[in-house]
Structure 1
Amino acid sequence: MNPTAGLAAICVVVLATLLIGALAMRWSRTTSDFYVASRSVSPWLNASAIGGEYLSAASFLGVAGLVLIGGADMLWYPIGWTTGYLLLLVLVAAPLRRSGAYTIPDFAGWRLQSTAVRQVSTVLVVGVGWLYLMPQFRGAGVTLQAVTGAPTWVGIVVVAAVVAVLVASGGMRSITFVQAFQYWLKLTALLVPLVFLVLAWRMDGSPPPVDGLGWSIPAVDLGPERLYTAYAILTATCLGTMGLPHVVVRFYTNPDGAAARRTTLIVLGLLGLFYLLPTAYGALGRIYAHDLTASGHAETVVLELPERILSTGADALGALLLAGAFAAFLSTSSGLTMAIAGVVGQAIDRRRWFDGRLSGIASLRVAALTCVFPPVALALYGGNVSIAMSVTFAFALAASTFCPLLVLGIWWPRLTRHGAVAGLVGGGITAGITPLITISLAPDGWIGLLVAQPALWSVPLAFSLMVGVSLLTAAPRPDDVGQVFTRLHTPERT
């Protein structure tokens, strides 16, 4: 790709992001505007924003790279990422909105009347957010380096700075409009070049990607290790979706529970449409870019295909794809930063730091401008783990902590504060240590597999701890649990 065209595409996306955020900032005046957009976001706008923030670098670049490497087996990732919203629709979306909370720690503290549960939840929100932000920043750096030759840190710093300014200036109100725009930009950026690539492939007469390239159908002739991996990926992606802080917080922005359900239905359609596209890029890559697997640059297959297949127009289509990739980095990073800043800002405000003079909006701005530094450091100095694998670690941590908290907190009245803390800590430790072991030690065999894909055992462990400890500590259960469940499960009047 022509570096000039690539830089121009990046500049257009960044400027459009800042412009839309600045225009939306005019409606961000109150604390409720900054935290939950005053709970006034319509289902279609919210669904587009969820699609914008959820379809991260792992979706835009990572899925195509995984399909290039592993064929149809890797489709477990997008299947799991999409199916998670069906579970959200059935189990979480409407009751969570009816709780009236701003964040997951808000819900946990309100449901269990416990400061300890709130504090542990706050730490875990930050942990999941940082673990998810790191691959977004690193992907931006690697992508910019591949296109322009700039050092990796340039892309990392650019995305981090834009995201911090966007969240600090306009909060949830601004990033809602930005993320909705970025979903449709990403969809267009993949769809338009794909039309030309498929036409060129058909005219070229190359064989389909199933011939002689090791393409396999999932669940056919799986050995025990591949079977475990498939189930672990599905567990992490399906259950982790309902526990991702930046996903959950979006349902607080709907007017009511019914709107939250409609939002989730629309999201399912938007995600299903999107994931057809990177899968097609991965399949084409198995014909024209199989060498990227050996070189370790499979995640760049989306960006490289136009130049490899087309004789004319490759630079323009490559620039469009680069614009979509940078939109993916920016939109997901914005949602994650907003989720982290929301809980950290509330913690700052409750502790009355800065002599108690800090308002809710000011505390969120302070948190937004500071909470991006740790994931930037991780992106600069972290191990060479693929984007999709890094995101899976975040999903496994969310599935092992917030998934059982939300499911049991919404549907099981006997959950106690001691049980919640035990499950959060147990699941957090097991799913939180495994990425460090994988990156630093890289164990082989079944040990390495269990550590690299922990969700299949860490999620049942977290559920078991919450249920078991709650049954042993029935006394600390809140007295008003009946009123709480009435509020969670009584539909609003229409």
Structure 2
Amino acid sequence: MSTPAVVALATIALVGLASAIIGSIGVRVARTTSDFLVASRTVGPAANASAISGEYLSAASFLGIAGLILREGLDALWYPIAFTVGYLALLLFVAAPLRRSGAYTVPDFAEARLESPRLRRLCTVFVLIIGWLYLLPQLQGAGLSLTTLTSLPSWTGVAGAGVVVVLTVIGGGMRSITFVQAFQYWIKLTALLVPALVVGSLFLSDSHTFDRPASPQFPAATTVDIRTDVVLEVAAPVTFSARGEIDGRTVDGPVRWESGEHVVRAGSELRFEAGTGVPNVAGTPATDQDWLQPMSGTGPDQLLEIYSILIAGFLGTMGLPHVLVRFYTNPDGRAARRTTVVVLGMIGGFYLLVTLLGALSRLYTPQLLVSGQTDAAVLLIPSGALGNGWAGWLLGGLVAAGAAAAFLSTSSGLVVSLAGVLFTDVLTGRFRDFRLAAVISSIIPIALALAVTRLDFALTVPLVFAVAASTFCPLLVLGIWWRGLTATGAIAGVLVGGGLSAIAVGVSLFAVLPPGLLGVLLYRPAAATVPAAFLTMILVSRWTRSQVPVDVDRTMLRLHAPERLGLGTDRLEQPRADR
């Protein structure tokens, strides 16, 4: 194994070891059901904000956003904007009332508000669907990181991350992972800040520029292995050497491409000399000037896609179960609001650094535009900028540590939220049932991550946000702010929004999308599914207004009255339980 691989593997192992040691602190103090599910609601705003940021900023954020910036340019900025302002929606509409509800999980809140076991069971199903869909790219991010940095098979990263996450969760539950996720946020931030400063200083000291009317160029002789069939596009003629099947014929030697699109089959090898123009995946900006221009993508429906991305990010954040469960850990609603304000600053700074590295990667890792593996941009930019020396190895090791923290922190949050739902709704019993629930919550996504070809973060994560925005967002917003919501209306809305978005997810992941408006709505369904869910809940609730709970006014008062009035109650408290 090469020296860079050893350094990367060592830093990943150190992050895992440090996480286990810090998590052991929570193990010693976790004794009650409340400790395991919501850390006994004693987490202060600063610690909770660090833990929430560590949990929310997943492998998709750490790796995927930079890859999107590298590939799509200015238009990709809508993703971090949407993911950040989603916490503004949480602050305005959900954070404090959700904490005052006294619930432990989203299904628990649904039953407390609308007194419907059927709605609770339906919410449980969608918590599992959303959680498993979101766990899949996190685990695959672990596999991508290990393969890219160490050349080990991807299954080792998936299996290793799964084992560490399960052990952390079953050891101390929410109490344990709160400490771990707070630590992992600062690891991630450092792993972005230091490379951004180092690579940014290199950019300022040389002659690189982004405003050229040409494609980026390879800074050194580069060999690109094509792992999947790809259609590449060149803005100007390029000459290179290749071995494999290109444009329908087998070649082994010099190749000249004229402007336009060219098909390269998996298994081909392309060799470019320094200064050669970089081909791009078809449909992405081919020149630097196009890359810097808004609305540079192809197709008349791009504006609809942007609106759908914003809707999914803005409203989907408040529907992610592992994010919502964090607000149950605050002492009160005021602390929940303060936590959300701090989180906005933390994740905003994180996304600024990711955006900067994504832009710089266009100069230092342009080969990823050819292979299509743009999710690896942050992982490879240290070696691309600093070369094959100790400085590049050490900086690459730091980035590897940040990547490990990214997929571990989000995965552990997802597992504890899924285990909490299974524990309270399916396996009600002693602590051993919580631990069994944690194992069950992990087995299915680990198996899928091992079996399914790695999916592009840019595809899977916005689809998860779309499902969350189409199900739990309408339920929470209307449940908190509209007394006229009924259980039948809520069930109908969740089924309509969840069903439509689930169909879109299935088609997008496993079928070729049709061109035009239908293809855009399947690829980014939130613009259609979220209004459909809201409208269904409102209309059906109007038709079934006689089913409004008789104590709705008392429930609404508890959600919105300040805690000092003493109206709030926690729905589940067990002073001690057998371990």
Q: Which amino acid aligns with 1:406?
A: L
CA distance in 2 between partners of 1:46 and 1:160 (Å)? 24
CA distance in 2 between partners of 1:166 and 1:412 (Å)? 39
Q: Following superposition of structure 1 onto structure 2, how do residues 451-490 of structure 1 map, counting pairs within 5 Å?
A: 451-490=522-561
Report what 1:355 is aligned to. none
Match of 1:246 among 322, 329, 334: 322
Report what 1:147 is aligned to. 149
- Considering only CA atoms, is the larger Rg found in Structure 1 or Structure 2? 2
Q: Which amino acid aligns with 1:25?
A: V
Q: Following superposition of structure 1 onto structure 2, how do residues 294-313 of structure 1 map, counting pairs within 5 Å?
A: 294-311=370-387, 312=389, 313=391
Q: Is the counterpart of residue 204 in structure 1 residue 275 in structure 2?
A: no
Match of 1:370 among 440, 465, 471: 440
1:59-101 per-residue CA deviation (whole Å, 9 max, x = no partner) reads 1010100000000100101000000110110100000000000
Task: Kindly state the Cα deviation for residue 218 of structure 1 after the two structures are TM-superposed.
Answer: 3.5
Query: Residues 25 and 221 (structure 1 numbering): CA distance in 2 closer, same or farther, change over 3 Å?
Result: closer
1:423-480 per-residue CA deviation (whole Å, 9 max, x = no partner) reads 1111111111212111221213122211110000000111111111111111222110
CA distance in 1 between partners of 2:312 and 2:371 (Å)? 28
Q: Which amino acid aligns with 2:444?
A: P
The answer to whether the 8 Å contact 1:94/1:261 transfers is: yes
Query: Residues 53 and 210 (structure 1 numbering): CA distance in 2 closer, same or farther, change over 3 Å?
Result: farther
The answer to whether the 8 Å contact 1:50/1:267 transfers is: yes
Q: Is the counterpart of residue 348 in structure 1 residue 434 in structure 2?
A: no
The answer to whether the 8 Å contact 1:348/1:363 transfers is: no
Q: Secondary structure at the match of 2:292?
A: coil
Q: Is the counterpart of residue 289 in structure 1 residue 365 in structure 2?
A: yes
The answer to whether the 8 Å contact 1:209/1:286 transfers is: no
Report what 1:354 is aligned to. none
CA distance in 2 between partners of 1:335 and 1:294 (Å)? 35
CA distance in 1 between partners of 2:454 and 2:12 (Å)? 24
1:323-349 per-residue CA deviation (whole Å, 9 max, x = no partner) reads 000100000001111110000111234
Q: Following superposition of structure 1 onto structure 2, how do residues 68-217 of structure 1 map, counting pairs within 5 Å?
A: 68-208=70-210, 212=214, 213=288, 214-217=290-293
The answer to whether the 8 Å contact 1:65/1:301 transfers is: yes
CA distance in 1 between partners of 2:521 and 2:366 (Å)? 29
Query: Residues 448 and 220 (structure 1 numbering): CA distance in 2 closer, same or farther, change over 3 Å?
Result: closer
CA distance in 1 between partners of 2:213 and 2:409 (Å)? 37
Q: Is the counterpart of residue 395 in structure 1 residue 397 in structure 2?
A: no
Report what 1:328 is aligned to. 406
1:260-295 per-residue CA deviation (whole Å, 9 max, x = no partner) reads 000000000001111011111111111222221220
CA RMSD of aligned residues (A): 1.5
The answer to whether the 8 Å contact 2:140/2:454 transfers is: no
CA distance in 1 between partners of 2:160 and 2:354 (Å)? 25
Q: Which amino acid aligns with 2:548?
A: R
* TM-score normalised to structure 2 length: 0.82
Task: Kindly state the Cα deviation for residue 210 of structure 1 after the two structures are TM-superposed.
Answer: 6.7
Q: Is the counterpart of residue 431 in structure 1 residue 501 in structure 2?
A: yes
Task: Kindly state the Cα deviation for residue 493 of structure 1 after the two structures are TM-superposed.
Answer: 2.1
Report what 1:271 is aligned to. 347
Q: Secondary structure at the match of 2:563?
A: coil
Q: Which amino acid aligns with 2:91?
A: L
Query: Residues 315 and 97 (structure 1 numbering): CA distance in 2 closer, same or farther, change over 3 Å?
Result: same
1:27-72 per-residue CA deviation (whole Å, 9 max, x = no partner) reads 1111100000000000000000000000001110101000000001
> Which is strand-richer, 1 or 2?
2
Task: Kindly state the Cα deviation for residue 383 of structure 1 after the two structures are TM-superposed.
Answer: 4.3
Report what 1:382 is aligned to. 452
Task: Kindly state the Cα deviation for residue 193 of structure 1 after the two structures are TM-superposed.
Answer: 1.6
Identity %: 51
Q: Secondary structure at the match of 1:168?
A: helix
Q: Following superposition of structure 1 onto structure 2, how do residues 35-46 of structure 1 map, counting pairs within 5 Å?
A: 35-46=37-48
Q: Which amino acid aligns with 2:44?
A: S
CA distance in 2 between partners of 1:274 and 1:23 (Å)? 27
Query: Residues 209 and 248 (structure 1 numbering): CA distance in 2 closer, same or farther, change over 3 Å?
Result: farther
Report what 1:19 is aligned to. 21
CA distance in 1 between partners of 2:36 and 2:211 (Å)? 48
CA distance in 2 between partners of 1:467 and 1:328 (Å)? 38
Report what 2:488 is aligned to. 418
Task: Kindly state the Cα deviation for residue 374 of structure 1 after the two structures are TM-superposed.
Answer: 1.1
Which stretch has the larger CA shift, 141-150 or 83-92?
141-150
Report what 1:353 is aligned to. none
* TM-score normalised to structure 1 length: 0.96
CA distance in 2 between partners of 1:207 and 1:335 (Å)? 40
The answer to whether the 8 Å contact 2:75/2:296 transfers is: no
Q: Secondary structure at the match of 2:291?
A: coil
Task: Kindly state the Cα deviation for residue 211 of structure 1 after the two structures are TM-superposed.
Answer: 6.0
1:161-192 per-residue CA deviation (whole Å, 9 max, x = no partner) reads 11111111100001001000000110001111
The answer to whether the 8 Å contact 2:427/2:437 transfers is: no
Q: Secondary structure at the match of 1:224?
A: coil
Q: Secondary structure at the match of 1:2?
A: helix
The answer to whether the 8 Å contact 1:400/1:428 transfers is: yes
CA distance in 1 between partners of 2:98 and 2:377 (Å)? 39
The answer to whether the 8 Å contact 2:86/2:316 transfers is: yes
CA distance in 2 between partners of 1:217 and 1:250 (Å)? 38
Q: Following superposition of structure 1 onto structure 2, how do residues 217-236 of structure 1 map, counting pairs within 5 Å?
A: 217-218=293-294, 224-236=300-312
1:305-324 per-residue CA deviation (whole Å, 9 max, x = no partner) reads 11111144000000000100
CA distance in 1 between partners of 2:191 and 2:5 (Å)? 18
